[in-house]
Chain A
Amino acid sequence: SQTIHQWPATLVQPVGSPLSLECTVEGTSNPNLYWYRQAAGRGLQLLFYSVGIGQISSEVPQNLSASRPQDRQFILSSKKLLLSDSGFYLCAWRSPRQGLYGYTFGSGTRLTVV
């Protein structure tokens, strides 16, 4: 069966520090991968998505970046965090071969920038 892993679950980082959040998917190949952020009291904001290794599309210009070094690995990074980067970060995947199907989300990372 397919599973998605996201870590860490919570993170407290000082302003100006780097960030690396990792997401991995098991039990499938060539998934579409997505990073969303949910700020307090706000909706899900799409940050990045990837349809293959090394292919990254950015939806919102900001100080975050994403990489997909392996088929089932998606990494969200920042060189210098801002206070406004605080939020709940969610990774999701979808199989393009399953036709119409919903996204499967990870359990999320709660990031607090202090």
Chain B
Amino acid sequence: SQKIEQNSEALNIQEGKTATLTCNYTNYSPAYLQWYRQDPGRGPVFLLLIRENEKEKRKERLKVTFDTTLKQSLFHITASQPADSATYLCAPQGPRGNTPLVFGKGTRLSVIA
């Protein structure tokens, strides 16, 4: 069965450092991969989508990579700030847009000032 693993449940990092979150998937051949941010008591918010033929995608301080050989996506936040503290979810997606997203359990990031 399809499986999504996000590297750790919690990650603590000092302000100003780069946070790196990992998303691994098995028994999947996603054409896209999405990343979301979820704050406590709120719904997830879409951040980035990367295609299988894109090695890297950037948005402001965010960078996502997608390695279909390793079956892995890395999510980087550079110059992290306490406001970046949240849970980050990955969701591999098949080529058909109507297929519902299945999410990883998420990594809770805490940026310490």
Task: Identify the A interface with B (CB < 8 A).
Answer: 32, 34, 36, 42-44, 46, 49, 51, 59, 88, 90, 92, 94, 96, 99-108, 110
Contacts and interface: CB of A to CB of B under 8 A. Distances in A.
Contact of A49 (B49, B51, B100, B105): B100
B100 to A, nearest CB: 5
B45 A46 contact: no
Interface residues of B, number: 22
A43 B106 contact: yes
A37 to B, nearest CB: 12
The 9 closest A-B pairs by CB, nearest first: A102-B46, A105-B43, A43-B105, A44-B103, A49-B100, A90-B43, A108-B43, A105-B44, A46-B100
Contacts of A90: 43-44
Contacts of A103: 36, 44, 46, 101
